[in-house]
Amino acid sequence: MIKAVTAAAAAAVTLPLLIILLATASPAPPAATVAATGLAVAKGTGEPASTVAATAIAFAAAQLGKPYRWGAAGPDAYDCSGLVYAAYAAAGIRLGRTTYQWRQDGPVVPLSQIQPGDLLFSAGSDGTPANPGHVVMYLGDGQVIQAPQTGQDVQIDPVDLASVVVATRPAGLAAKP
């Protein structure tokens, strides 16, 4: 059963995102989680996340609390790339299944221009973008959603831009009208 969101939260939701949240089969996340995820705005702009990014964010938020399992892409567990792969699949965007395929995950964007839904890749063993080892989805306002590691669940954390070696915008792969 989907619980009602506060009037302030409802006012901030665009109609497509509200439909997505109401159509989600999973129980609604707590109001604070909805505010931190489904109502993401591009930091500093006040603009809502694109419909594609909002769909991916809503899907990822519905996975909060599910366990990390290496190689998993849902529905009961996820690894880092499996979470973003499944989230963007729900939005109709095909991504690479692993962090090593990041070059097909949309146009590269400067860290100074990241928006909700962008993927942030951390360096792998060689410390370069050629071999990223972890991926998270940016939610806006300095927050990311991720499947961090064995023993942890899908969760929201503060962004650590110091460890990011490349950022991509999968929503940029959506067909333009």
Annotated catalytic residues are: 80, 134, 146
Report the candidate in 138, 116, 134, 117 with the shortest Cα–Cα distance to residue 125.
Answer: 134
Task: Tell me the three state secondary structure of residue 123.
Answer: coil
Distance CA 95, CA 31 (A): 29
CA distance 152 to 62: 16
CB-based contacts of 115, cutoff 8 Å, min separation 6: 42, 43, 49, 50, 53, 109, 138, 140, 169, 171
Helix (H, G, I), strand (E, B) or coil at 138: strand
